[in-house]
Structure 1
Amino acid sequence: MTQKIILQHQVFEWGKRTYIMGVLNVTPDSFSDGGEFNTLDAALTQAQKMLAAGVDIIDIGGQSTRPGSEQISVEEELNRVIPVVELLRSQPNPLAHIPISIDTTRTAIAQAAIEAGADLINDISGATFEPEMLSVVAKLGVPIVLMHIRGTPKTMQQLTDYQDLIGEISLFFQDRIQACKIAGIEPSNIILDPGIGFAKTFEQNLEILRQLPQLKSLGFPLLVGPSRKSFIGHILNEKDPQKRVWGTAAACVAAIVGSGDILRVHDVQEMVEVCRVADAIYRL
């Protein structure tokens, strides 16, 4: 039987098609769109644009995780993200019922966001920065995305010395999956993210995309986030992240071929079209 979850009465049936998670960074300093959507009006306009383009989940983040970024206070993160969640939930349908993900490593933010109307947690630390995240997620009964990382966003790019990249990511996931089970999280609520760009070199990012089927063999849906990242800029010799749209498209197709289930992207309209065509070739 195909695995599935239900968010806002919408069924996400893994393997049936590729789902698009649209990035809504309400930060002043994210790597490719910092300062663009960090007011309520701008965030709402962007959410409406993503909805019209066919987004499946909106991922709201208030803490930049670009390489070298500094962590903000809990209070500042709450002040950035909770009003946006509440605003989206107060809108007329269908925006009021779009599934919302909260991109955070902090239990206080996760709990407040779910109470405000968010539907799932996207934790770039795999719930290692605050291990109590797992018990909170279990209590809330919501899905969690567990991403692979080494160190923190400030230190991660000095921690890329893997002996067996895919094997070590797999071991990390196996440990996290076991921790989820111990905490009482249903296996159907676990989603894995190999963490492209997080403690990974250029070549390692490419290797992850080539070897996604090995990670898929762990038996859980995969989220892949290549959008606008530096490995694409390296290939294209393009320093401006916003000009990496079609490089992102190629990486998204690679992720679909490798059985990725969710693609976390900035350019929703373009990637929705890419996924529809790639799905027609490789999935349907």
Structure 2
Amino acid sequence: MGVAKKIVVIGGTGLIGSKVVGLLRRAGHQAVAASPDTGVNTLTGEGLDEAMQGAEAVIDVSNAPSFETQAVLDFFQSSGRNLQAAGRRAGVRHHVTLSIVGTDRMPGNAYFQAKLAQEEIVRQAGTPFTILRSTQFMEFLGGIADMSTQDGVVRLPGGQFQPIAADDVAAILADTALEAPHNGIVEIAGPERAPFDAFVDRYLRQVGDPRPVSREPSARYFGGEVRELSLVPLGEARLGQTSLEDWLRRRAAAA
């Protein structure tokens, strides 16, 4: 990965952030895991300037503590502005933000709309940037099934779905932070695409979950209407290498 750099990972103790920090440190870089757990709060600004001092790049994988419509919007806007201001003071040369494929195609999904607002702050800040839009994580498949279950049946739309393993997301994020800024959007996805309901059904069968899956075109995803291509890249995308079966094998081995 070249000359050692200081890279601050906002949300560095979470699912993706902790993996990114580990990858960068193993490659010889000074990766700072910045989160409220380590004394860095992007909402209040606590510890932010200290963490950013001397950083060449920032990777923002932070997440809102609440998914309530106004709370999630407030979080990404306030946090985004504070982070950009701190980055300018520190002379950060590359700001990488993890976002979601389809943020601009699902107006009924409040979380997606909040991420879209965060993206706009990044674009307007003046710091060279890359917005990395990812499809849904394989780690969320169980939770998606749970939230979509009504009367014992998992009810999902049939739009296309292309989830990616968190390990692949982390690897691409680490690489992206060390590349020249794209000053635009890069989309990433898993190696396999299938209808949403079919993919979740395949996951449930492989983990031994007996719940039936029903395709219901009217089913919503966090309030958003899922059309055929709402949740997948429309053009060129960087693909992860981990299939669903590989991910399940790794998860079982680590249990």
Q: TM-score, normalised by structure 1?
A: 0.35
**Largest Rg, 1 or 2:** 2
Bigger strand fraction? 2
Q: TM-score, normalised by structure 2?
A: 0.38
